[in-house]
Copies of this chain bind each other. A is one copy, B any other.
Amino acid sequence: MSEVNWKPVKSSSTPLYLQIVNYIRNKIMSGEWTIGTKLPSQRQLAACFEVNRSTVITALQELIAEGLLEAKTGSSTFVANNTWNVLATSSPNWPEYVQAGIHQPNRSLIQQINKAEAEPATLRLGTGELGSELIPTDEMKQMLISKQHQSLSLGYEEPKGNAQLRETLSRYLRKKGIQASPSSILIVSGGLQALQLIAWGLLRKGSVILHEAPSYLNSLSMFESVGIRGVGIPLDRHGLQMESLVRLKRQHDAALLYTIPSFHNPTGAVMSEERRKQLTEIAHRETLPLIEDDVYGDLWFEDAPPPPLKADDRGGNVLYLGSVSKALSPGLRIGWLVGPEQVIDRLADIKMQTDYGSSSLSQAVVNQWIQSGKYDDHLSQLRVSLLKRRNLTLDILRHCLSDCCTWNIPAGGFYIWLRLQKRFSARKLFQLALQKGILLNPGSVYDKMDDSHIRLSYAYPSESELVQGLQRLAQLIKEDFCQ
């Protein structure tokens, strides 16, 4: 029921209310709106149809009289019947099917965020994506136009993905100190898919994954869907705290550790070189495989972060995850997973059963982009733009919020992890801001117990939106919270 983009024709000889009756009846008869479907509110319908609310009410009453709709508690209206049913047969009970599936729906908070993101007017201060100004769409078009796509193949690719792209990635990873031959690289449709393949392919029900607390992983419900549990490990500005790691690994007999060592989501932290060494050592001693999520690793401002854990991997202990979604274009849906060949073979087999490979067009474009050196050029520019936005954000925060909030100074990536002082509720702030059209990512997305943080991202909004949005946010915090 997300889109009602039809409107009655005001110049028609058919009364407006009757046009609406016909429209809704048609939706129901065609099966698009099945029994149990909830209609938008009268107010929403009036706005969509651009008619008075009384016209909507007349139309709904007509349909209720026909037995197609029924009014329930409050002013909610539901589809109650359809002609097919009236003809003494029954429609599938889709609401029951929809609730039966094994895969859990997104958490309601995430659904609320997704919904707000779809509203064009929303000022998005928490979104972890590059804004359209930072995506090199024009260069991409140029490349598509000028190069003849000599390598363009539109058939199915090999199970592990386009061979040329894997060659290119093998060379690209070598610059990070990672030795990975093409056969140990699996092309995936973004980092999220890599995590899903790991969840299905390598873990049994009841397994425990350790992760930083807070963590991006908590925003996903897919691990829960297959009976895998997450356990958080405290983190400071140098990354994971090692003290509790060994204890928690043993206590839960954890199967894996998931970590974002560079420009952590949501805290922006960079794991220090010393911690990385410790982690590598502990992981080996405790036989704890690691998933290293390095999707932000190229987005440093002044100095590159320490080499990835994978560069120091001697026993095939690390599954390494990269992607172009954060640094180039999320819409291409291309990422890569690097690991021991037997693991990559197993996950490639599952990927073939899942979506039969990633878009060969996207793979060809990413290959050309990296191979031609355009990716490096783009990164140089992107770092300057992101740094400028980071500084702008920090200036406003210092100026407006230094008496009631604290925050990190990220050395790369997208995120500022804003801590509200004096026991303000981040959940409450999220709802208040949303009412004013500002979308924040509250800390509870990343740690269900957290109610004192907001994840800000300076990557999505334009500079002017950033200034405007942050000032309005600051005002909101001051008015409602800092008195």
Contacts and interface: CB of A to CB of B under 8 A. Distances in A.
B358 A315 contact: no
Contacts of A255: 97
Interface string A343-367: 1011001101111111111100100
Which of A91, A95, A193, A361 has most chain B Cβ within 10 Å? A361
A330 B222 CA distance: 27
Contact of A101 (B204, B288, B316): B204
Contacts of A432: none
Interface string A86-113: 0001111111011011110110000100
A342 B95 contact: yes
A221 B353 contact: yes
A220 B93 CA distance: 27
A3 interface: yes
Nearest to A135: B154
Interface in A14-60: 26-27, 29-34, 36-37
A317 B356 CA distance: 28
Given A200-B102, A341-B2, A361-B365, A333 B346 contact: no
Interface string A180-203: 111110000110110010011111
A153 B333 CA distance: 12
Given A153-B331, A355-B193, A362-B361, A111 B287 contact: no
A344 B95 CA distance: 12
A192 B285 CA distance: 41
A154 B365 CA distance: 12
A317 B89 CA distance: 11
A94 B201 CA distance: 11
Interface string A208-242: 00000000000011100111000000000000000
A468 interface: no
A7 interface: no
Interface residues of A, number: 120
A349 to B, nearest CB: 5
A437 interface: no
Contacts of A202: 97-98, 100-101
Nearest to A192: B356
A69 interface: no
Nearest to A81: B315
A141 interface: yes
Most chain B Cβ neighbours within 10 Å, of A118, A144, A182, A316: A316
Contact of A329 (B135, B155, B181, B190): B155
A3 B317 CA distance: 21
Given A31-B316, A287-B93, A349-B106, A359 B359 contact: yes
Contact of A84 (B160, B196, B315): B315
Given A34-B340, A331-B156, A102 B226 contact: yes
A101 B160 CA distance: 19
Contacts of A199: 102
B154 A140 contact: yes
A293 interface: no
A84 B184 CA distance: 19
A473 interface: no
A449 interface: no
Contact of A193 (B111, B155, B317, B354): B354
Interface of A: 1-3, 5, 26-27, 29-34, 36-37, 82-85, 89-95, 97-98, 100-103, 105-106, 111, 114, 118, 129-130, 132, 135, 137, 140-141, 144-145, 148-149, 152-160, 179-184, 189-190, 192-193, 196, 199-205, 207, 220-222, 225-227, 255, 284-285, 287-289, 313-318, 325, 329-334, 340-343, 345-346, 349-350, 352-362, 365
Given A84-B284, A92-B289, A144-B144, 7 more contacts: A26-B179, A34-B316, A83-B314, A105-B346, A145-B145, A190-B355, A333-B358
Q: Which 6 A-B pairs have the closest CB atoms?
A: A31-B316, A331-B360, A359-B359, A103-B200, A91-B315, A154-B329
